[in-house]
């Protein structure tokens, strides 16, 4: 165990270093992280991918790693207001990290037990889909080395490195739940962009953050594309990226989002575009060469 006052970079490294008994070639299932500017449609894409892989006969673990959690709504799970994010489970955090709830300083465990949490905490949606809601951790300018953060990071490490499910992570614009130890086992970081400068600037920032932890498998998905002009705008301004597909602007998706449900009634054009993206994603693997940027 280490004191909470230790430099956060040292703690980050300790949290994400590989364990000696892990063989990265032992598993060959997809681990996908989805990121992008708020409101760009990353949760819509995440929810579709979760449903699509389940339809292909895969067991899927959906991970809501965005502090503004709404993947449960996107999947059509009911009574979402009753879901308690893991970061807010104070007794669990204290038990696993051997810390004192609400305290600062002191000592806590950097490698808490997390391998049993998916079975204990995941919310089932049908036969093949389970959802884990991580929640967020308040942090200062240098990041957070606190019991909640350490528990979440160790849990993400376990889900990416050791689970044999397809894992789809709906993340915020940052990728702070990932680290060098896990980045090499992420099959692809999907960045959702829409026609607009702020969305493209966010994508560029995410690319920088990914490079900092050695994550090179990055691809884009264009969303809310109203026609060829929007599509060409994205291609011209993000020429160095690989696009896995373009999702048309669809009022049905917006309506479903307002109702807090999965967009079952999306247009045929939208469904075809999303299925194409699903097929492109399923062909990616961290065991293969990184996608070029």
What does the pLDDT profile of the chain (293 residues) look like in tens digits? 433 333 333 333 344 343 334 333 334 479 999 999 888 999 999 999 999 999 999 999 999 988 877 899 999 898 888 999 999 999 999 999 998 766 555 678 889 999 999 999 999 998 999 999 998 765 543 455 688 888 988 898 888 887 788 999 998 776 666 666 666 678 899 999 999 999 999 999 998 888 888 888 899 999 999 999 999 999 999 999 999 999 999 999 988 888 878 888 999 999 999 999 999 998 876 544 444 44
Predicted TM-score (pTM) of the model is 0.83
Instruction: For the chain, report the end-to-end CA distance as a whole number of angstroms.
Output: 40
Phi/psi of residue 191, each to 5°? Answer: -110, 120
Task: Count Cα atoms within 13 angstroms, Cβ side, for 276.
Answer: 14
Domains of the chain: 23-282 (3.40.50.300)
Phi/psi of residue 120, each to 5°? Answer: -80, -35
Burial of 60 (0-12, 13-18, 19+ CB in 10 A): buried
**If you compute the radius of gyration of the chain from its CA atoms, what whole number of angstroms results?**
19
Contact 183/214 with Cβ under 8 angstroms?
yes
């Amino acid at each position: 165990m280490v004191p909470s006052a230790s430099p956060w970079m040292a703690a980050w490294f300790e949290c994400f270093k590989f364990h000696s008994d892990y063989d990265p070639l032992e598993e060959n299932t997809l681990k996908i992280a989805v990121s992008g500017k708020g409101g760009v449609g990353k949760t819509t894409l995440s929810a579709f991918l979760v449903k699509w892989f389940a339809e292909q006969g895969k067991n899927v673990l959906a991970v809501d790693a965005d502090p503004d959690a709404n993947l449960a709504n996107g999947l059509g799970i009911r009574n979402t207001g009753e879901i308690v994010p893991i970061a807010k489970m104070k007794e669990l955090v204290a038990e696993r990290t051997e810390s004192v709830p609400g305290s600062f300083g002191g000592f806590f465990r950097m490698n808490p037990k997390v391998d049993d949490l998916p079975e204990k905490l995941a919310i089932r949606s049908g036969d093949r889909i389970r959802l884990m809601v991580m929640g967020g951790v308040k942090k200062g300018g240098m990041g957070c080395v606190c019991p909640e953060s350490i528990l979440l990071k160790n849990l993400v490490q376990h889900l990416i490195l050791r689970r044999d499910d397809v894992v789809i992570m709906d993340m915020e614009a940052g990728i702070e739940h990932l680290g060098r130890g896990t980045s090499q086992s992420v099959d692809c970081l999907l960045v959702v962009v829409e026609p607009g400068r702020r969305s493209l600037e966010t994508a560029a920032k995410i690319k920088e953050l990914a490079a900092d932890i050695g994550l090179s498998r990055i691809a884009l998905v264009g969303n809310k594309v109203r026609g060829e002009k929007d599509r060409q705008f994205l291609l011209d301004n993000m020429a160095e990226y690989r696009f896995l597909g373009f999702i048309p602007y669809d009022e049905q998706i917006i309506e479903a989002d307002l109702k807090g449900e999965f967009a079952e009634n999306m247009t045929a054009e939208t469904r075809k575009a999303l299925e194409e993206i699903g097929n492109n994603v399923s062909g990616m693997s961290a065991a293969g060469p990184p996608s070029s940027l």
